[in-house]
Structure 1
């Protein structure tokens, strides 16, 4: 998954403004206790981060 696809999905699910805030502030255990932004900065693949997001929030099946 490309990073642009990841952010498109985040924006579609959370909305334009809230996606960045959520990615910056919400800590996900499945990412080693990191936020989305921290995990991406540490080199975790966007696809792996997206799967972790899908584990903690109810994401529309079309976006999974």
Structure 2
């Protein structure tokens, strides 16, 4: 997964007006309690960040 795909998926599920706020403020336990923005900066693989966001958003398995 590329960074652009991660951002596109977050926007798709959270909406254009909210996804960046959520990514900067919501802590994801599966990536060490970091936010999406912090996890990217720390070098966490984008696929791992998406899996953590997917779980936090309680999305269906088809979206994984």
TM-score for both structures, normalised by structure 2: 0.90
User: How many equivalent pairs are there?
Assistant: 64
Structure number with greater CO (CA < 8 Å, separation at least 6) is: 1
Structure 1 unaligned residues grouped into runs of 5+? none
Q: Quote the RMSD (CA, aligned, Å).
A: 1.2
The structure with the greater share of residues assigned to strand is 1
TM-score for both structures, normalised by structure 1: 0.90
Structure 2 unaligned residues grouped into runs of 5+? none
Runs of 4+ in 1 over 4 A off after TM superposition: none
